[in-house]
A and B are shown apart, each in its own frame.
Chain A
Amino acid sequence: DAGITQSPRHKVTETGTPVTLRCHQTENHRYMYWYRQDPGHGLRLIHYSYGVKDTDKGEVSDGYSVSRSKTEDFLLTLESATSSQTSVYFCAISRSDRGREQYFGPGTRLTVT
């Protein structure tokens, strides 16, 4: 599992509140990713990081921001949560020593009421 943990694993929050999800890895991989998974849409990339303080947008980045101040941590923030952001969020890393194979964390189930 490449030592990936996500916290919290479950969260219920109200519309308009900020929410931060954390992804932690133990193996110092350079690339980290945030995806969301929704019925009818599959998994879609939100943001990714290619190093400390180096991040870029993915396919569905509106309403989300990210930060990476340490190699091991990649934070996803919903600035003002909306019901459309109710989803399961997955963090992933890619291993350059294995042809960029991606490994995923266990996911965070977020419900915005």
Chain B
Amino acid sequence: KQEVTQIPAALSVPEGENLVLNCSFTDSAIYNLQWFRQDPGKGLTSLLLIQSSQREQTSGRLNASLDKSSGRSTLYIAASQPGDSATYLCAVSPGKTSGSRLTFGEGTQLTVNP
């Protein structure tokens, strides 16, 4: 059974700092890995999708990397802003089926202080 772990569970940083969120998964036979953002009381917003054959993806100040063989992904946020405060979720989909049934980590709650 796939298990996804996110460390740390919570993180508080001053504005402007660069930071890294970590995600690990136990079964390396994945199809893709997706990072989401969730604001309190809201739905999930997709940030980045990395296919299993890719090493990284970038969108603006966000960069996600994937090391499939070691079961790890990182989300790098450059020059953090108070508006980045949210919970960040990592999820993987299995490689052996055509459906994308995601297994989620419990998330990292990020607070960026002005």
Interface residues of A (CB under 8 A from B): 31, 33, 35, 40-45, 48, 50, 56, 58, 90, 92, 94, 98-107
Question: For chain B residues 24-80, which have a beta carbon within 8 Å of chain A?
Answer: 31-32, 34, 36, 42-46, 49, 51
Q: Is the CB of A50 within 8 A of B98?
A: yes
Q: Do B44 and A90 touch across chains, with their CB atoms under 8 A apart? A: yes
Q: Given A90-B43, A90-B44, A100-B93, does the pair A43, B102 have CB atoms closer than 8 Å?
A: yes
**8 A–B contact pairs at CB < 8 A?**
A31-B99, A31-B100, A43-B91, A92-B102, A100-B31, A100-B32, A104-B43, A106-B43
A-B pairs, top 9 by smallest CB distance, nearest first, are A100-B100, A104-B44, A42-B106, A94-B100, A43-B104, A101-B49, A106-B43, A42-B104, A104-B43
Beta-carbon contact of B93 and A33 below 8 Å: no
Q: Which of A41, A50, A94 has its CB near the most chain B CB atoms (within 10 A)? A: A94
Q: Are B43 and A102 in contact (CB under 8 A)?
A: no
Q: Is the CB of A99 within 8 A of B32?
A: yes
Question: How would residues 86 to 113 of chain B score, 1 for a CB under 8 Å from any chain A CB and 0 otherwise?
Answer: 0001010100001111111111000000
A48 adjacent to B101 (CB under 8 Å): yes
- A102 with B100: in contact, given A42-B89, A43-B89 (CB under 8 Å)? yes
Complex alpha-carbon distance, A90 and B91, angstroms: 15
A25: min CB distance to chain B, Å: 14
* A48 to B89 CA separation, bound complex (whole angstroms): 20
Q: Which residues from A are CB-within-8-Å of B44?
A: 43, 90, 92, 104
- Complex CA–CA separation, A45 to B102 (angstroms): 7
Contact status B34-A102, CB under 8 Å = yes
- B94 CB to closest chain A CB (Å) equals 11
Q: What is the distance, in angstroms, from B54's C-beta to the closest C-beta of chain A? A: 9
CB–CB A99/B101 < 8 A: no
